[in-house]
Chain A
Amino acid sequence: MSAIVLFLAVIAVIAGWWLSHQRLTAKPWLEEGPIGDFPGTDAMTWPAAKIGLGVFLAVASALFVLFISAYSMRMAMVDWRALPVPRLLWFNTGVLVLSSVALQWSYVAARRDDTDGVMIGLLAGGAAAIIFLAGQLLAWQQLSAAGYFMASNPANSFFYLLTAVHGLHLTGGLVALGRTSAKVWRHDAATAEMRLSVELCTIYWHFLLLVWLVLLGLLTGWTDNFVDICRQLLS
């Protein structure tokens, strides 16, 4: 559980930093009067959707970190047999990176009011994400063809589970991406709303890429040493 406690500590630091700017030590009963006297303590001025995405990313991170916590605890049991990582995963990782790059392209284009660029970026990013998902399915197929079934070892179970959860998040992202693309399609000129949608998709894509890299590190065993250190901290 050390991973999730560490993660929550990070969240607590961020929340504490924000709260420390909210004048929590003020004596509100003495501060009768209009607003504007205390700049920065009013409601956040970011768009709601952007804050919403930020909070959602925290929730999704908590979910993945909890899976990682469970992974590291289950890994300590004697019956754990690491499974060979299919080579295909490297190709998939490359595709996912390309997908993120395409969305970044789209985001930059949106800031320049280049609707065609936005559209190209979104479509390329979406296509790459779909290829990634198809590649993941293919990796599952290769593994099960090689006899690594879901239930035969906890390492296998976690492999299928973690890739599935990540894939589901990406699928959800594709729905949002589709809606954004439709929005861009309907408008000729970039609107603020459209720019925001593209930005949020891009943030989400980068997040999922980061999650995937962490999961990949876990599944390939690169992070074993780190996991060991964390485990020793707790026992």
Chain B
Amino acid sequence: MVDVPYDGIAGIPPAEVPDVELYHPKSWWTRYVFSQDAKVIAVQYSLTASAIGLVALVLSWLMRLQLGFPGTFSFIDANQYLQFITMHGMIMVIYLLTALFLGGFGNYLIPLMVGARDMVFPYVNMLSYWVYLLAVLVLASTFFVPGGPTGAGWTLYPPQAILSGTPGQDWGIILMMASLILFIIGFTMGGLNYVVTVLQARTRGMTLMRLPLTVWGIFTATVMALLAFPALFVASVMLLLDRLLGTSFFMPSLVEMGTLSKYSGGSPLLFQHLFWFFGHPEVYIVALPAFGIVSDLISTHARKNIFGYRMMVWAIVGIGALSFVVWAHHMYVSGMFPQFGYFFATTTLIIAVPTAIKVYNWVLTLWRGDIHLTVPMLFALGFIITFVNGGLTGLFLGNVVVDVPLSDTMFVVAHFHMVMGVAPIMVVLGAIYHWYPKVTGRMLNDVLGKFHFWVTFLGAYLIFFPMHYLGLLGVPRRYFELGDAAFIPPSAHSLNAFISVVALTVGFSQMVFLFNLVWSLFRGEPSGGNPWRATTLEWQTPETPPGHGNWGKELPIVYRWAYDYSVPGAEQDFIPQNQPPRATRAAQGAAS
């Protein structure tokens, strides 16, 4: 690499970082366990999130067994069913997806992609993981306490959540609150790192408009999460006080199991406002990193710059801002002041415009591309289909009057699984296939990967697409069994059984993926440093996997944006971000 002297420019961080700031690990413990290296923390986050995610996957099988074949499995009762849905939802949304995208991908990719040695506060970063792990352990412990985990639904609506008619009212709900509070504290520590690293530790030449969209997505999502999670924190603390100390923040006068309770005057709707003030941004906290990552996957594997980069950036920022003023679209039938409906329906549908632009730009990136149908690309295509589908059904539920018949039915379940379950998971899987070579130095097996993709994608689509129609029919959600209802024809029960069979198949096919992960670690084809011939900085590290401190003696210098693929006149179909213009011209000169 040609080195260009830049010493004269004020306000630019030095290329060389003093050794003392690199907090080199001294022992096995500080290298692999209490590590302050963001890459190790990323792997720790990802493994913990996946482990608890597998628990949630098993819970979904149990739910599907009950829904598909009611009465057949006597070991599942109504209480347990509610506990399964609650824990499945909570784990998947918060402990898996949020932790994986921000704690996992954020930790691994941000420092590498912006050309930093590490996160800016490595010690706090390490603490973040350990607090997260503690939160997961507290959550998991609820399976073993008397009364089991809470069955209040992942929304934890009071008064029901802390009253005796709900399973897990004793320890389950208390530990759930404690776990959420811990999670938020841990996340805030991590989130400060991600934000400040992007703001302050970008390498020389890495202007905001040269950032890969992955970083834009994770950065915006982190900012949102930092501002949204306090709402969940406030709601959790107040609900915990209602439960433990008998305060009445959310609890009105009510009759609990035939006797007048000690509570009076509180407002259940206040909890819902706080919860969804967190809950709706949470949807985009999961979606924005997925948007960013999938943009980079599509661009890299179609060998073409992302179409409309500027619009993509603006859309990410715009969606992030708008998503704070749409929360009450989860509350159209909650009994809140009805005139709110106009405002929230309008803001909700407006958010569809920047989101649609992102979709157009993804497919337009494919136009006249050089599409390599690698496994990451397949997952990206799968993401587009499931996301478009789930996004469009969001237009039903966001439009206040259409939401009235559909709310609390299986339509809602199908919608959010498609849009924030399947679609982000497609991106997670695609991203793992994409970056696994950087993390381990070996490729994942391609044949197993393609099998995994087709079963997962087609299976997930077969699960959730027909489910919308059950909801349209009127089948309510969170029902242990449907029982006798004149409006539900026998065919609906057959459809439920079909969905269950597919769900189990898709679930088990993930074992192929797990096998692939482990097998490839030892037997995978060595990948080299840049197997996908990508432009972004993480593929330009001197070592693969990147060593401690990421870069050699000097930090990379960035000369161009992240999407110089198939540039006319260039020798290769990609130009790394840290390749100086002079060297390109020299190479061209040598070639001609």
Contacts and interface: CB of A to CB of B under 8 A. Distances in A.
- A–B contact at 8 Å CB threshold (below): yes
Interface of A: 1, 4-5, 8, 11-12, 15, 19, 22-29, 31-36, 38-39, 41-46, 48-49, 51-52, 55-56, 58-59, 62-63, 66-67, 69-70, 73-74, 77-80, 150-151, 154, 157, 161, 165, 235
B201 A42 contact: no
A26 B313 CA distance: 11
B207 A22 contact: yes
B6 A36 contact: yes
Given A55-B192, A70-B238, 16 more contacts: A5-B325, A8-B227, A23-B207, A26-B209, A29-B561, A34-B557, A35-B9, A36-B12, A43-B203, A48-B120, A51-B196, A51-B199, A51-B200, A63-B230, A77-B267, A151-B247
B559 interface: yes
A73 B207 contact: no
B266 A154 contact: yes
27 contacts: A12-B321, A22-B207, A22-B208, A23-B207, A24-B314, A27-B310, A28-B207, A28-B561, A29-B305, A32-B560, A36-B9, A41-B207, A48-B120, A49-B121, A51-B199, A51-B200, A52-B196, A58-B226, A66-B230, A66-B231, A70-B249, A78-B265, A79-B248, A150-B245, A157-B247, A161-B241, A235-B337
Nearest to A27: B310
A185 to B, nearest CB: 21
A48 B208 contact: no
Interface of B: 4, 6, 9, 11-13, 120-121, 188, 191-192, 195-196, 199-210, 223, 226-227, 230-231, 233-234, 237-238, 241, 245-249, 262, 264-267, 270, 273-274, 277, 305, 309-310, 313-314, 317, 321, 324-325, 337, 557-561, 563-564, 580-581
Given A42-B11, A48-B120, A73 B267 contact: yes
A154 B6 contact: no
B234 A151 contact: no
B245 A151 contact: yes
Given A24-B208, A43-B13, A79-B265, A29 B309 contact: yes
B343 to A, nearest CB: 10
A161 B321 contact: no
Contacts of A48: 120-121, 196, 200-201
A193 to B, nearest CB: 12
Contacts of A70: 234, 238, 249, 270, 274
A4 B327 CA distance: 13
Nearest to A18: B199
Nearest to B246: A151
B230 A25 contact: no
Which 4 residue pairs across A and B have the least CB separation, nearest first? A79-B265, A28-B561, A35-B205, A48-B120
Contact of B270 (A27, A38, A59, A74): A74
B3 to A, nearest CB: 11
B226 A59 contact: yes
A35 B270 contact: no
Nearest to A45: B11
B362 to A, nearest CB: 18
Contacts of B209: 22-24, 26, 28, 31, 41
Given A8-B324, A41-B207, A33 B226 contact: no
B215 to A, nearest CB: 13
A74 to B, nearest CB: 6
Contact of B207 (A5, A38, A45): A38
A78 B248 CA distance: 13
A35 B265 contact: no
A231 to B, nearest CB: 12
A150 B234 contact: no
A55 B195 contact: yes
Contacts of B317: 19
B210 A28 contact: yes
B268 to A, nearest CB: 11
Nearest to A1: B273
A31 B564 CA distance: 11
Contacts of B274: 66, 69-70
B202 A55 contact: no
B248 A59 contact: no
A157 to B, nearest CB: 4
Contacts of A66: 230-231, 233-234, 274, 277
B292 to A, nearest CB: 16
A59 B230 contact: yes
Contacts of B337: 235
Contact of A32 (B238, B248, B559): B559
Nearest to A32: B560
A22 B313 CA distance: 12
Nearest to A79: B265
Contact of A74 (B199, B227, B237, B267): B267
A188 B270 CA distance: 54
A31 B201 CA distance: 21
Given A34-B205, A58-B226, A44 B200 contact: yes
A56 to B, nearest CB: 6
Contacts of B563: 29
B234 A67 contact: yes
Contacts of B208: 19, 22-24, 41
Contact of B4 (A27, A34, A55): A34
A157 B241 contact: yes
Contacts of B580: 34
Nearest to A19: B317
A107 B121 CA distance: 23
A235 B281 CA distance: 23
Contacts of B559: 32-34
Given A32-B559, A32-B581, A73 B270 contact: yes
Contacts of B305: 29
Contacts of B230: 59, 62-63, 66
B248 A157 contact: yes
A157 B267 CA distance: 14
Contacts of B227: 8, 11, 58-59, 62
A63 B188 CA distance: 12
B4, B192, B563: residue with the most chain A Cβ atoms closer than 10 Å: B192
A79 B313 CA distance: 48
A183 to B, nearest CB: 15
A36 B325 CA distance: 38
A134 to B, nearest CB: 23
Given A11-B227, A52-B121, A42 B202 contact: yes
B321 A1 contact: no
A45 to B, nearest CB: 5
Nearest to A42: B12
B262, B274, B557: residue with the most chain A Cβ atoms closer than 10 Å: B274
B206, B207, B310: residue with the most chain A Cβ atoms closer than 10 Å: B207
B28 to A, nearest CB: 28
Contacts of B557: 34-35
A122 to B, nearest CB: 22
Nearest to B116: A43
Contacts of A63: 230, 233-234
A5, A45, A59, A77: residue with the most chain B Cβ atoms closer than 10 Å: A59
A4 B277 contact: yes
Given A4-B277, A32-B560, A150-B247, A24 B313 contact: yes
Contact of A42 (B204, B226, B265): B204
